[in-house]
Amino acid sequence: MSLNLLFWAYTLIWILLAGYLGLLGLRQQALTRRVDRLRARLGSQTAGKQEPS
């Protein structure tokens, strides 16, 4: 019983820490996608204008 509780305490702590890192990773991915979109838009705009400002 007592060891069981100890096991779960540390398991949950690792899960929480890993979960937070995963969350940061997901946000990073979302941001990368936004940067890609931005880059695509920027590319088409400058291509249309023919002069980068």
Partner 1 sequence: MNLALQTTVRSICLWAVLTLCMLASIHGVFLDAPRERVMGDVQRIFYFHFPAALGSFLAFAVVCFAGVSYLCTRQRRWDHLGRASAEVGVLFCTIVLVSGPLWAKSAWGTWWTWEARLTTMLVLWLLYISYLMIGLYTDSREQRARAAAVVGIVAFLDVPIVYFSVKWWRGHHPIILGRGGEGGLSPEMWPVVWICLVTFLLLYGILVGLRMSLARAEDIVLDMEEHLQN
Total count of residues recorded for the chain: 53
Count of residues near partner 1 by CB under 8 A: 23
- Binding-site string for partner 1 from residue 1 to residue 40, where x marks contact by CB under 8 A and - marks none: xxx-xx-xxx-xx--xx--x---x--xx--x--xx--x--
Terminal C-alpha separation, the chain: 69
Residues that bind partner 1 (CB under 8 A): 1-3, 5-6, 8-10, 12-13, 16-17, 20, 24, 27-28, 31, 34-35, 38, 41-42, 45
